[in-house]
Amino acid sequence: MPTGSPVDGFTLTYDRHGSPAPGRPTVVLLHGWPGDRTDMGAVAERLAGDHDVVVPDLRGFGESDKHHLDPAEFYGPAGQARSVAGLVEELGIAEIVVGGYDVGSRVGQQLAKNRPDLLRALVVTPPAPGVGQRILGEAPFAEFWYQSFHQLDLAERLVDGKPEAARDYVGHFWSHWSGPAFTPDDSRLDHMASVYGPAGAFVASIGWYRAGGGVVARSLAETVPDPADRITVPTTFVWPEHDPLFPRAWSDRLDEFFADVSVVPADGVGHFVPVEDPDTFAGAVRAATGVEALR
Protein backbone atom coordinates (compact mmCIF):
# COMPACT_ATOMS: atom_id res chain seq x y z
CA MET A 1 0.00 0.00 0.00
CA PRO A 2 1.97 2.98 -1.24
CA THR A 3 1.44 6.59 -0.18
CA GLY A 4 1.41 9.72 -2.28
CA SER A 5 3.47 12.83 -1.70
CA PRO A 6 2.01 15.30 0.81
CA VAL A 7 -0.55 17.90 -0.24
CA ASP A 8 -1.15 20.50 2.48
CA GLY A 9 0.89 18.15 4.69
CA PHE A 10 -1.44 15.16 4.12
CA THR A 11 -0.29 11.94 2.46
CA LEU A 12 -2.88 9.53 1.09
CA THR A 13 -2.48 5.78 1.39
CA TYR A 14 -3.88 3.95 -1.63
CA ASP A 15 -4.27 0.55 -3.25
CA ARG A 16 -3.71 0.01 -6.95
CA HIS A 17 -5.49 -2.79 -8.79
CA GLY A 18 -4.87 -3.85 -12.36
CA SER A 19 -2.05 -2.08 -14.11
CA PRO A 20 -1.47 1.08 -16.16
CA ALA A 21 -1.11 0.38 -19.87
CA PRO A 22 -1.88 2.11 -23.16
CA GLY A 23 -5.59 1.90 -23.88
CA ARG A 24 -6.41 0.81 -20.32
CA PRO A 25 -8.61 3.45 -18.64
CA THR A 26 -7.79 4.65 -15.14
CA VAL A 27 -10.48 4.74 -12.47
CA VAL A 28 -10.15 6.45 -9.08
CA LEU A 29 -12.60 5.17 -6.46
CA LEU A 30 -13.47 7.29 -3.41
CA HIS A 31 -15.10 5.92 -0.26
CA GLY A 32 -17.61 7.45 2.16
CA TRP A 33 -18.31 7.87 5.86
CA PRO A 34 -18.28 5.71 7.92
CA GLY A 35 -15.90 3.71 5.77
CA ASP A 36 -12.49 3.57 4.16
CA ARG A 37 -10.89 2.42 0.92
CA THR A 38 -11.83 -1.22 1.56
CA ASP A 39 -15.47 -0.28 0.81
CA MET A 40 -14.47 -0.14 -2.85
CA GLY A 41 -12.71 -3.52 -2.88
CA ALA A 42 -15.44 -5.48 -4.68
CA VAL A 43 -15.84 -2.75 -7.33
CA ALA A 44 -12.08 -2.66 -7.88
CA GLU A 45 -11.98 -6.45 -8.31
CA ARG A 46 -14.62 -6.23 -11.05
CA LEU A 47 -12.68 -3.55 -12.92
CA ALA A 48 -9.06 -4.58 -12.41
CA GLY A 49 -8.89 -7.04 -15.31
CA ASP A 50 -9.09 -4.30 -17.90
CA HIS A 51 -8.71 -1.04 -15.97
CA ASP A 52 -6.05 0.67 -13.89
CA VAL A 53 -7.82 1.24 -10.54
CA VAL A 54 -6.56 3.55 -7.78
CA VAL A 55 -8.36 3.45 -4.42
CA PRO A 56 -7.16 5.93 -1.77
CA ASP A 57 -8.15 6.59 1.80
CA LEU A 58 -9.27 10.22 1.94
CA ARG A 59 -7.71 12.71 4.34
CA GLY A 60 -8.51 11.76 7.92
CA PHE A 61 -9.63 8.23 7.03
CA GLY A 62 -8.15 4.74 7.10
CA GLU A 63 -4.39 4.81 6.86
CA SER A 64 -4.06 8.30 5.37
CA ASP A 65 -2.78 11.20 7.45
CA LYS A 66 -4.90 12.57 10.28
CA HIS A 67 -3.75 15.98 11.44
CA HIS A 68 -5.39 18.09 14.14
CA LEU A 69 -5.88 21.14 11.93
CA ASP A 70 -8.68 23.58 11.12
CA PRO A 71 -11.41 21.42 9.53
CA ALA A 72 -12.75 24.27 7.38
CA GLU A 73 -9.40 24.68 5.63
CA PHE A 74 -8.16 21.11 5.49
CA TYR A 75 -11.03 18.61 5.77
CA GLY A 76 -13.78 20.09 3.60
CA PRO A 77 -14.55 19.30 -0.06
CA ALA A 78 -11.89 21.64 -1.45
CA GLY A 79 -9.10 20.23 0.72
CA GLN A 80 -10.09 16.64 0.01
CA ALA A 81 -10.23 17.35 -3.72
CA ARG A 82 -6.75 18.93 -3.61
CA SER A 83 -5.33 15.72 -2.18
CA VAL A 84 -7.00 13.54 -4.81
CA ALA A 85 -5.86 15.85 -7.61
CA GLY A 86 -2.32 15.80 -6.20
CA LEU A 87 -2.29 12.01 -6.15
CA VAL A 88 -3.60 11.83 -9.72
CA GLU A 89 -0.93 14.21 -10.95
CA GLU A 90 1.83 12.43 -9.05
CA LEU A 91 0.83 9.10 -10.61
CA GLY A 92 0.92 10.71 -14.04
CA ILE A 93 -2.59 9.60 -14.94
CA ALA A 94 -5.16 11.58 -16.90
CA GLU A 95 -8.61 11.28 -18.40
CA ILE A 96 -9.69 9.44 -15.27
CA VAL A 97 -13.15 8.26 -14.32
CA VAL A 98 -13.88 9.06 -10.68
CA GLY A 99 -16.30 6.81 -8.84
CA GLY A 100 -17.50 7.76 -5.38
CA TYR A 101 -20.20 7.32 -2.80
CA ASP A 102 -21.24 9.49 0.16
CA VAL A 103 -18.25 11.71 1.08
CA GLY A 104 -16.42 10.33 -1.95
CA SER A 105 -19.28 11.47 -4.17
CA ARG A 106 -19.05 15.02 -2.89
CA VAL A 107 -15.26 15.01 -3.27
CA GLY A 108 -15.66 13.76 -6.83
CA GLN A 109 -18.16 16.50 -7.60
CA GLN A 110 -15.78 19.11 -6.16
CA LEU A 111 -12.95 17.70 -8.26
CA ALA A 112 -15.18 17.95 -11.35
CA LYS A 113 -15.78 21.63 -10.55
CA ASN A 114 -12.19 22.53 -9.74
CA ARG A 115 -10.20 20.27 -12.06
CA PRO A 116 -12.37 19.15 -14.99
CA ASP A 117 -9.15 18.82 -17.00
CA LEU A 118 -8.32 15.66 -15.04
CA LEU A 119 -11.65 13.90 -15.49
CA ARG A 120 -13.21 11.91 -18.28
CA ALA A 121 -16.40 11.15 -16.35
CA LEU A 122 -17.91 11.00 -12.89
CA VAL A 123 -19.89 8.05 -11.48
CA VAL A 124 -21.35 8.72 -8.03
CA THR A 125 -24.16 7.99 -5.63
CA PRO A 126 -26.01 10.67 -3.67
CA PRO A 127 -25.63 13.18 -2.09
CA ALA A 128 -26.53 15.40 -5.00
CA PRO A 129 -27.32 19.11 -5.25
CA GLY A 130 -30.91 20.22 -5.68
CA VAL A 131 -32.23 19.13 -2.29
CA GLY A 132 -32.80 22.65 -1.01
CA GLN A 133 -35.33 23.23 1.77
CA ARG A 134 -36.60 19.64 1.50
CA ILE A 135 -33.80 18.75 3.90
CA LEU A 136 -35.93 20.32 6.65
CA GLY A 137 -38.81 17.87 6.17
CA GLU A 138 -39.86 15.66 9.07
CA ALA A 139 -38.33 12.44 7.68
CA PRO A 140 -34.94 13.95 6.71
CA PHE A 141 -34.79 15.80 10.03
CA ALA A 142 -34.99 12.46 11.82
CA GLU A 143 -32.15 10.99 9.73
CA PHE A 144 -29.55 13.75 9.73
CA TRP A 145 -29.23 14.20 13.51
CA TYR A 146 -25.67 12.85 13.44
CA GLN A 147 -24.40 15.84 11.46
CA SER A 148 -25.33 18.18 14.32
CA PHE A 149 -23.96 15.71 16.86
CA HIS A 150 -20.62 15.72 15.06
CA GLN A 151 -20.27 19.43 15.73
CA LEU A 152 -20.20 18.80 19.49
CA ASP A 153 -17.15 18.10 21.62
CA LEU A 154 -19.33 15.42 23.20
CA ALA A 155 -19.03 13.31 20.02
CA GLU A 156 -15.27 13.18 20.45
CA ARG A 157 -15.49 12.41 24.17
CA LEU A 158 -17.95 9.56 23.70
CA VAL A 159 -16.42 7.85 20.65
CA ASP A 160 -12.85 8.88 19.89
CA GLY A 161 -10.17 6.48 21.10
CA LYS A 162 -12.75 3.90 22.20
CA PRO A 163 -12.81 0.96 19.73
CA GLU A 164 -15.92 -0.67 21.20
CA ALA A 165 -17.85 2.62 21.16
CA ALA A 166 -16.64 3.30 17.61
CA ARG A 167 -17.77 -0.17 16.51
CA ASP A 168 -21.22 0.36 17.99
CA TYR A 169 -21.56 3.90 16.63
CA VAL A 170 -20.50 3.30 13.02
CA GLY A 171 -22.20 -0.11 13.12
CA HIS A 172 -25.51 1.67 13.67
CA PHE A 173 -25.15 3.49 10.35
CA TRP A 174 -24.00 0.40 8.47
CA SER A 175 -27.13 -1.39 9.64
CA HIS A 176 -29.63 1.47 9.43
CA TRP A 177 -28.57 2.91 6.07
CA SER A 178 -28.21 -0.36 4.19
CA GLY A 179 -30.89 -2.10 2.17
CA PRO A 180 -33.23 -4.84 3.45
CA ALA A 181 -31.14 -7.68 2.03
CA PHE A 182 -27.82 -6.53 3.50
CA THR A 183 -26.46 -7.04 7.01
CA PRO A 184 -22.90 -5.95 7.78
CA ASP A 185 -20.95 -8.97 8.99
CA ASP A 186 -18.68 -9.06 12.01
CA SER A 187 -15.54 -8.84 9.91
CA ARG A 188 -16.63 -5.53 8.40
CA LEU A 189 -17.62 -4.08 11.77
CA ASP A 190 -14.38 -5.32 13.31
CA HIS A 191 -12.46 -3.60 10.52
CA MET A 192 -14.41 -0.37 11.06
CA ALA A 193 -13.52 -0.55 14.76
CA SER A 194 -9.85 -0.99 13.84
CA VAL A 195 -9.79 2.14 11.67
CA TYR A 196 -12.21 4.37 13.62
CA GLY A 197 -11.24 3.22 17.13
CA PRO A 198 -7.66 4.51 17.61
CA ALA A 199 -7.21 7.85 19.34
CA GLY A 200 -7.70 10.69 16.87
CA ALA A 201 -9.25 8.56 14.13
CA PHE A 202 -12.92 9.24 14.76
CA VAL A 203 -12.45 12.98 15.30
CA ALA A 204 -10.41 13.20 12.08
CA SER A 205 -13.19 11.47 10.14
CA ILE A 206 -15.82 13.94 11.35
CA GLY A 207 -13.62 16.84 10.31
CA TRP A 208 -15.62 16.57 7.08
CA TYR A 209 -18.81 17.54 8.92
CA ARG A 210 -17.12 20.16 11.08
CA ALA A 211 -15.89 21.76 7.86
CA GLY A 212 -19.49 22.10 6.63
CA GLY A 213 -19.24 19.15 4.26
CA GLY A 214 -22.47 17.56 5.45
CA VAL A 215 -25.56 17.61 3.27
CA VAL A 216 -27.68 19.69 5.66
CA ALA A 217 -25.42 22.73 5.69
CA ARG A 218 -24.72 22.44 1.97
CA SER A 219 -28.39 22.11 1.02
CA LEU A 220 -29.50 25.13 3.03
CA ALA A 221 -26.70 27.27 1.55
CA GLU A 222 -27.25 25.99 -1.98
CA THR A 223 -27.64 28.34 -4.94
CA VAL A 224 -28.49 27.31 -8.48
CA PRO A 225 -25.59 28.11 -10.83
CA ASP A 226 -25.92 29.93 -14.10
CA PRO A 227 -26.36 27.28 -16.83
CA ALA A 228 -22.92 28.15 -18.17
CA ASP A 229 -21.41 27.32 -14.76
CA ARG A 230 -22.83 23.83 -14.37
CA ILE A 231 -20.47 20.87 -14.00
CA THR A 232 -19.53 19.87 -17.54
CA VAL A 233 -17.90 16.51 -16.78
CA PRO A 234 -20.33 13.75 -17.91
CA THR A 235 -21.92 12.51 -14.68
CA THR A 236 -23.85 9.37 -13.76
CA PHE A 237 -25.70 9.05 -10.46
CA VAL A 238 -26.19 5.48 -9.30
CA TRP A 239 -29.25 6.03 -7.12
CA PRO A 240 -30.20 3.34 -4.59
CA GLU A 241 -33.77 2.37 -3.84
CA HIS A 242 -33.58 2.12 -0.06
CA ASP A 243 -31.25 4.88 1.08
CA PRO A 244 -33.07 6.60 3.98
CA LEU A 245 -30.95 9.72 3.51
CA PHE A 246 -31.55 10.41 -0.18
CA PRO A 247 -34.93 9.44 -1.67
CA ARG A 248 -35.01 9.14 -5.46
CA ALA A 249 -37.44 12.05 -5.65
CA TRP A 250 -34.45 14.25 -4.86
CA SER A 251 -32.92 13.47 -8.25
CA ASP A 252 -35.41 15.78 -9.98
CA ARG A 253 -33.16 18.86 -10.24
CA LEU A 254 -29.85 17.38 -11.33
CA ASP A 255 -29.87 19.11 -14.71
CA GLU A 256 -29.78 22.48 -12.94
CA PHE A 257 -26.30 21.62 -11.68
CA PHE A 258 -24.87 19.24 -14.32
CA ALA A 259 -24.69 19.86 -18.06
CA ASP A 260 -24.57 16.14 -18.90
CA VAL A 261 -26.17 13.89 -16.28
CA SER A 262 -28.02 10.58 -16.11
CA VAL A 263 -29.42 8.35 -13.35
CA VAL A 264 -28.90 4.59 -13.07
CA PRO A 265 -31.18 2.88 -10.51
CA ALA A 266 -29.68 0.48 -7.98
CA ASP A 267 -32.77 -1.44 -6.95
CA GLY A 268 -33.06 -3.35 -3.70
CA VAL A 269 -30.05 -1.72 -2.03
CA GLY A 270 -29.35 1.07 0.41
CA HIS A 271 -26.74 3.73 1.00
CA PHE A 272 -23.60 1.58 0.62
CA VAL A 273 -24.00 0.85 -3.08
CA PRO A 274 -20.37 -0.19 -3.81
CA VAL A 275 -20.56 -2.76 -1.00
CA GLU A 276 -24.19 -3.85 -1.41
CA ASP A 277 -24.32 -3.88 -5.21
CA PRO A 278 -20.81 -3.72 -6.69
CA ASP A 279 -22.04 -5.13 -10.02
CA THR A 280 -24.30 -2.15 -10.70
CA PHE A 281 -21.70 0.36 -9.59
CA ALA A 282 -18.92 -1.29 -11.61
CA GLY A 283 -21.26 -1.53 -14.60
CA ALA A 284 -21.89 2.22 -14.47
CA VAL A 285 -18.13 2.83 -14.34
CA ARG A 286 -17.63 0.55 -17.34
CA ALA A 287 -20.28 2.47 -19.27
CA ALA A 288 -18.34 5.65 -18.49
CA THR A 289 -14.97 4.20 -19.59
CA GLY A 290 -16.44 2.44 -22.61
CA VAL A 291 -14.85 -0.90 -21.72
CA GLU A 292 -17.19 -3.88 -21.84
CA ALA A 293 -16.91 -6.54 -19.19
CA LEU A 294 -14.39 -9.31 -19.79
CA ARG A 295 -15.96 -12.51 -21.04
Mean per-residue pLDDT, 274-288 = 98
How would you write 200-222 as a 3-class SS string? CHHHHHCHHHHCCCCHHHHHHCC
What architecture (CATH level 2) is domain 14-289? Answer: 3-Layer(aba) Sandwich (3.40)
Residue of 209, 242, 243, 277 with catalytic role: 209
Cα 151 from chain centroid? 20
Q: Is 271 a catalytic residue?
A: yes
Annotated active-site residue in 52, 102, 243, 277: 102
Q: Give residue-wise pLDDT tens across range 160-171.
A: 999 999 999 999
- What is residue 219's predicted lDDT score, i.e. its pLDDT? 83
Residue 278 clears pLDDT 70, i.e. is over it: yes
DSSP letters for 219-250: HHT--PPPGGGSB-S-EEEEEESS-SSS-GGG
Q: Does the active-site annotation cover 102?
A: yes
Residue-wise pLDDT for 241-269, tens only, equals 999 999 999 999 999 999 999 999 999 99
Q: Domain residues of the chain, as ranges?
A: 14-289
Residue 295 has a pLDDT of 43
Whether omega before 240 lies within 30 degrees of 0, making that bond cis, reads no
Considering only CA atoms, which of 52, 32, 50 is closest in space to residue 213?
32
Q: Distance (Å, rounded) from C-alpha 238 to C-alpha 172?
A: 23
Selecting among 51, 160, 271, 277, the annotated active-site residue is: 271
Q: What pTM does this model have?
A: 0.96
